[in-house]
Chains A and B, each alone.
Chain A
Amino acid sequence: MYQYDLIDKEFLADRSAEFRGQVARRLSGELTEDQFKPLRLMNGLYLQLHAYMLRVAIPYGSLNPTQARRLAQIARDYDKGYGHFTTRQNIQFNWIKLKDAPEILDKLAEVDLHAIQTSGNCIRNTTSDPYAGATAEEVDDPRVWCEVIRQWSTLHPEFSFLPRKFKIAITASAKDRTAAKVHDIGLLLRQGRDGQLGFEVIVGGGQGRTPYVGPTIKQFLPTDRLLSYLEAILRVYNRHGRRDNIYKARIKILVAALGAEEFARQVEEEWSKIDAARADLPAPELARIRAAFATTPFKTLPARSETFEAAKASDAAFARFVRNNVRPHKLPGYAIVEISLKAQEQTPGDASADQLDVVADLAERYGFNDLRVTHAQNLVLPHIKLDDLPTVFAALQTANLATPNIDLVSDIIACPGLDYCALANARAIPIAQDIARQFADLDRAEQVGELKIKISGCINACGHHHVAHIGILGVDKKGEEFYQLSLGGSGAEDASIGKILGPALPADKVATAVDQLVGAYLAVRTDGERFLDTYRRVGLEPFKEAVYAQAD
């Protein structure tokens, strides 16, 4: 994993000193709220319904145990003992006081954590595959490129006041676990014909009011030209993105207005004028960053672990956990372990301080100090020996972190919603809990199979409802909470935007509707079909009928 050197550490120290000064100037009245707001947003500090919310960056979803423990400590000392993981692999604390924020940033900086650019009209956290470095599927380790972009985009003097926020995702496997195609820039790592590495560059994906699967702007960008090409894209956007209407200010609007071809042409033209020698990353620096990610001291193990097999045979709960939460590792004898933060009756994506300590310990003792966050608000231990899996499972069970429901119906993405968020129209958390309760029976959940439900409390779509197999959008209908369902979205490599099912439903009808949809699916599915596949084969009608034919 990338280790911060003295330069990186001094940068964080300078940043938190800067913010300390800015907070002081706000409290004294020297800065107005209007002047202060973007400054605090660029340090991840939102004013929400009950308190300030601090969004701490977890660059490309990667944490070490020291960092996880520090997050637990911050949760205890400055918040209410928990944190919330987001769809951009970051963590949020909901109960922060402005006066504590400078001290919190100092404490974060001590362990190489920060909240730089987790909000504001600037380049945000570059997200990536939580299985990076552990999966055989990848053509290269995407974290290398995420770290390159992280540094390049940090306090970029030209691109810190963009028309709107800017989100980049990088994936390197055929299976996309990053929702790259609905990002402002999605970078798909590819191998060219001659074995050369490059990116397929997608620009103008997005969700919110106007969802788009982004078009490919460049089929193959050699990786050593990444930064100059990004500079060209950002410059075209900074100069020509709309600034008159915040709902039309994302790059997706510019790409749609110009058309992908014209947008690509403008980028190429700008790119041709950029001095590559000055703009692109020098090879030695790339090598330095790359070397940081190649240091895991894996052992050579046999593919089969008797301990693991015995536990599977004798412990049905462990077997179920393995079926749903464990994924193949690139190396024999190892496994990728998903940790569900979607336990029954818990808030989706939340982890208590104690739970953070538990996963920190597990990563340290069994996992090469490597912990990841997924954009589905779960955690991953990417390198666990099969031999150690039963022990890890037992520890997770004790901490209520072993719910065997990854990618199943109760593994729901839910934004904080109206319970916390100043932007929300409706609550998302109780809806997620209702649905999870409806499918508490694990056998049933497994029978249903892969079903990605995602809930957003407002059109800003932080819950990714547009790219859900069943998407749920909270709306305010004359002051009451109603929910609009959509079907057939996907954030994976087969990206698609969901279609609205029908009129919005009141809160107490949503779980039943999901039940009806599942029933309709089970009635007509053929062998091996996931919910999404059946929907794509039979269309909306059978599902619409299942829900609305019975409505009063």
Chain B
Amino acid sequence: MPKLIELVEGQARWAEDAFVFVADEDAIPDTGDVILTLARFEAEGDALLASNSRRVGVRIEPDQEVEVLAYDLPRLAVVALAFPKYRDGRAYSSARLLRERFGYQGQVRAVGDVLREQAGFMVRCGFDAFEPADGATPEAWSKAASRFRHVYQRAVDARPVAFEERAS
């Protein structure tokens, strides 16, 4: 089972991943929580959700726009944002838009080439779950995400910005 790190109230911890990612060519299991590709969700998502018996998530690739999920977000438990290569920074914008523009309250999960060296950026952009590709533990993840005592710009997280600290 791929290990999942979840961020709960600012603390990183191991979590059992209830979700299974279903590739387009595979059958959707009869029961259980699933994460589908965007195309699959657009085709079969309504039916799955209508059953009301399972949670559904969608995996978004970097070249797919999160705007297309705008109306479905309230019904989605997870949005998984893919990093095919850690250098592909599009998911940071996607995460931020999900949180700030669409007010998404569900889980925003980082999948793919997810490395602790980018933990800080991910947390600040609103990711709250991570499938690390480098063997990182929650402790290592926490440590990596908290290297900086100060930040210079507002992001999704509630950290006070440097100029707010100065004003106080």
Direct contact of A and B (CB under 8 A): yes
Binding site for B on A (CB under 8 A): 5, 7-8, 10-11, 14-15, 17-18, 22, 31, 35, 38-39, 121, 151-162, 235, 238-239, 243, 273, 275, 278-279, 281-282, 284-285, 288
A157 to B166, Cβ gap below 8 A? Answer: no
Q: Would you give the shortest CB distance from B10 to chain A, in whole angstroms?
A: 16
- B-chain residues with CB within 8 Å of residue A155 when the two chains form the complex: 120-121, 148, 151-152
Residue B96 CB within 8 A of the other chain: yes
Beyond contacts A14-B150, A161-B86, A285-B167: 12 other A-B pairs, Cβ-Cβ < 8 A, are: A7-B150, A31-B117, A35-B117, A152-B152, A155-B148, A158-B125, A162-B89, A238-B89, A239-B65, A243-B88, A273-B101, A284-B167
- Contacts A11-B148, A14-B147, A17-B147 given: A157-B163 contact, CB under 8 Å? no
- A-chain residues with CB within 8 Å of residue B62 when the two chains form the complex: 243
User: How far is A336 from B69 in the complex, measured between Cα atoms in Å?
Assistant: 58
Q: Would you give the shortest CB distance from A522 to chain B, in whole angstroms?
A: 52
Q: What are 11 pairs between A and B in contact, CB < 8 Å?
A: A10-B150, A15-B148, A18-B148, A35-B117, A121-B89, A158-B89, A161-B121, A243-B62, A281-B163, A282-B167, A284-B167
- B-chain residues with CB within 8 Å of residue A160 when the two chains form the complex: 89, 92, 121
Residue B111 CB within 8 A of the other chain: no
Residue B82 CB within 8 A of the other chain: no
- A-chain residues with CB within 8 Å of residue B155 when the two chains form the complex: 157-158
Instruction: Kindly identify, within residues 64 to 78 of chain B, every residue whose CB is under 8 Å from any CB belonging to chain A.
Output: 65
Cβ-neighbour of B153 out of A14, A22, A121, A156 (below 8 A): A156
User: How far is A156 from B152 in the complex, measured between Cα atoms in Å?
Assistant: 8
A14 to B149, Cβ gap below 8 A? Answer: yes
Contact with A along B116-155 (1 / 0, CB 8 A): 0110111011000000001000000000000111111111
User: How far is A7 from B152 in the complex, measured between Cα atoms in Å?
Assistant: 10
A278 to B154, Cβ gap below 8 A? Answer: yes
Q: Would you give the shortest CB distance from B13 to chain A, in whole angstroms?
A: 22
- A-chain residues with CB within 8 Å of residue B167 when the two chains form the complex: 282, 284-285
Give the interface centre of A121, A152, A155, A158 by most chain B CB atoms within 10 Å.
Answer: A158
- A-chain residues with CB within 8 Å of residue B117 when the two chains form the complex: 22, 31, 35, 39
- A-chain residues with CB within 8 Å of residue B105 when the two chains form the complex: none
A159 to B87, Cβ gap below 8 A? Answer: no
- A-chain residues with CB within 8 Å of residue B96 when the two chains form the complex: 158
- A-chain residues with CB within 8 Å of residue B121 when the two chains form the complex: 155, 157-158, 160-161
B152 to A161, Cβ gap below 8 A? Answer: no
**B88's closest neighbor in chain A, by CB?**
A243
Q: Would you give the shortest CB distance from B108 to chain A, in whole angstroms?
A: 13
Interface size on B, residues (CB 8 A): 35
- B-chain residues with CB within 8 Å of residue A153 when the two chains form the complex: 153
- A-chain residues with CB within 8 Å of residue B162 when the two chains form the complex: 7-8, 11, 151
Give the interface centre of A8, A156, A239, A275 by most chain B CB atoms within 10 Å.
Answer: A239
Residue B93 CB within 8 A of the other chain: yes
User: How far is A159 from B93 in the complex, measured between Cα atoms in Å?
Assistant: 8
Residue B90 CB within 8 A of the other chain: yes
B150 to A157, Cβ gap below 8 A? Answer: no
The 9 A-B residue pairs with the shortest CB-CB distance, nearest first, are A161-B89, A157-B124, A285-B163, A157-B121, A151-B152, A158-B92, A14-B148, A18-B147, A7-B150
- A-chain residues with CB within 8 Å of residue B153 when the two chains form the complex: 151-153, 156-157
User: How far is A10 from B148 in the complex, measured between Cα atoms in Å?
Assistant: 8
Q: Would you give the shortest CB distance from A18 to chain B, in whole angstroms?
A: 5
Q: Would you give the shortest CB distance from A16 to chain B, in whole angstroms?
A: 11
**A279's closest neighbor in chain B, by CB?**
B154
- A-chain residues with CB within 8 Å of residue B152 when the two chains form the complex: 11, 151-152, 154-156
B92 to A238, Cβ gap below 8 A? Answer: yes
- B-chain residues with CB within 8 Å of residue A156 when the two chains form the complex: 152-153
User: How far is A121 from B88 in the complex, measured between Cα atoms in Å?
Assistant: 10
- Contacts A7-B165, A285-B166 given: A35-B93 contact, CB under 8 Å? no
User: How far is A235 from B125 in the complex, measured between Cα atoms in Å?
Assistant: 13
Residue B98 CB within 8 A of the other chain: no
**A121's closest neighbor in chain B, by CB?**
B87
Residue B5 CB within 8 A of the other chain: no
User: How far is A273 from B70 in the complex, measured between Cα atoms in Å?
Assistant: 14
User: How far is A239 from B95 in the complex, measured between Cα atoms in Å?
Assistant: 12
Q: Would you give the shortest CB distance from A375 to chain B, in whole angstroms?
A: 25
**A22's closest neighbor in chain B, by CB?**
B117
**B124's closest neighbor in chain A, by CB?**
A157
**B92's closest neighbor in chain A, by CB?**
A158
Cβ-neighbour of B150 out of A11, A162, A235, A275 (below 8 A): A11
Residue B115 CB within 8 A of the other chain: yes
- B-chain residues with CB within 8 Å of residue A121 when the two chains form the complex: 87, 89
Q: Would you give the shortest CB distance from A109 to chain B, in whole angstroms?
A: 13
**A39's closest neighbor in chain B, by CB?**
B117
**A11's closest neighbor in chain B, by CB?**
B150
Q: Would you give the shortest CB distance from B166 to chain A, in whole angstroms?
A: 7
Q: Would you give the shortest CB distance from B134 to chain A, in whole angstroms?
A: 8
Q: Would you give the shortest CB distance from A258 to chain B, in whole angstroms?
A: 16
User: How far is A154 from B90 in the complex, measured between Cα atoms in Å?
Assistant: 18
**A30's closest neighbor in chain B, by CB?**
B134
- A-chain residues with CB within 8 Å of residue B124 when the two chains form the complex: 157
